[in-house]
Structure 1
Amino acid sequence: MTYYDVLGVPVTATQGEIKAAYIAQIKFFHPDVFTGPPEVAKVKSAQLNEAYSVLSSPEKRRIYDKTIPNFTAWTSAKANDETTAAPEAPDEKADCQPPPPRYSHDQEQRQKERLYRSSKATLINVLVISAVLILVLCISAGVSRFSPQPSATESQPLPQVLPGSGKILDSVFYRYDAPLTIETRGDGYYLVKLKDKYSHRDVCSVFVYGGRSVNIDVDFGCYELYYAHGDTWYGEEFLFGSDTKYYKADDDFLFEEYGDYVYGWTVELYLQDGGNLAVSTIDGSEF
């Protein structure tokens, strides 16, 4: 296990990410606040302090990196993953702008009519005005009839073929160090996503059928868990359509190696007595 594994950061982490990871973990494992066995807190705090003392110094870190087997291959693989998998950063200014107006499907042809009446109007004048009015109405009706109308189905996504349960739709993992088991109940389908705790980037997403469980392996690190649920799959862009429900686990998930043991997680995505996983409903834009 490398110092990067101890802090739960990739080998390409910035100094700021290393510092943030150290602070977050030392607050959790410090002997004065850790609720688990005291010996675990003592050993873990020592590991964190040792790792941070090296990685926080650019010169010490450079020397240490040369001692890591396959360090060059790791950094190259990670760089390629980030190049191919990282989404483009959204324009911050664009987020502040109101959404563009949508094309209305219920266009109405309105025509304001003004009739000027004169006490001296003759029968011929009335007939002329009526004829002009009828002609205008006929032209408007013709335009409305032959104008192309947007199809009601154009904006509706079509159901897609379901991925297999346990199918990994996206992943940047390359070491696969620790196990993750996901268990579900009931109907519908789940798209479970892991995000890096510190960069908040997507690192893995897996499709799970309701009532089934799947087992995958992930890299050592600290992650946030999100999931979407629905009944009809419309693909990775639309997920489960307008009926998609989005959730985020309140706790983080730390996958690490401690001595001769590798610590993974089993996540049960259903309500139960004595359950200890709290989740919050989120907006689709946060998923």
Structure 2
Amino acid sequence: MSKNYNDDYYQILGVEHTADLSTIEAQFQVLMKQLESEPNKNFGRIQKLKEAYLVLGDELNRCEYDFLLKNPPQKRADERVIPAKIKPSSSQHSTRQSMRRSNNTGVILTMIFITAFIVLARLSPTPDTRSHNDPITPAGVSQGSLNPVNLPPTGKIASFSNADSLAPLKISGAPGVNYYIKLVDNNTGQTMVTIFLRAGETVQTKIPLGTYKMRTAQGDTWYGKEAYFGPETQFTETTESIEFYRTDFQIMGQVITLQSRQDGNLHTEAIRSDEF
């Protein structure tokens, strides 16, 4: 998606910020028909029009664009990105394993509206109150007993709901970390959707409406759905619920960036493997 903050795509298309997708598409077709009568003369305007439609005609692109309009770069210059976790050397592993159990990772959560954007700000991370002695790796798993298998492709693995998948979801992963993700029903704890996300990649999908907690198993080498990433697997769960719902005119979705930030607005805590 183009990030030219000087272009007002709504003005280019001649639509209101509250216009629905069908209105945007219809207006695009009308303008294109007018301009294509003289393609050479209108080449620049046609390119701008296509660029505007590429953004506003797609739910996720439009939501990101709306966010950029409301939060231009100068307003976000104080963001401090915490580097993604890198697999420690064997001499550092014991010390860091203890430290990262108490590390409460913040991730960026963006509430997507079809025509609006809200940041759920939090002033400070939620502390992890679990004992540091609680096991958070798969029980009974040792490195010597495992055989690596190929990483699954990035994408939705399964949906365990009979409901239609209507709400858009976009998740971007940090480099150097692979994720096996579960969206679990906030009330029952039942797994509703599973997703695999390779390091540094992005998944865009749709899921059933509902309220979820997101659980992640993170690591480097994949050993399958029983052992996950072996004894170094880190398991987390969001401390806040994540909502996907419908209003009279809109379907609310989410854009999530799985990258540690000091100002992240969705917080996680470490959990044990038997809680995953």
TM range (shorter): 0.3 to 0.5
- TM-score, normalised by the number of residues in structure 2: 0.46
Task: Name whichever structure is richer in helix by fraction.
Answer: 1
Higher relative contact order (CA 8 A, sep 6+): 2
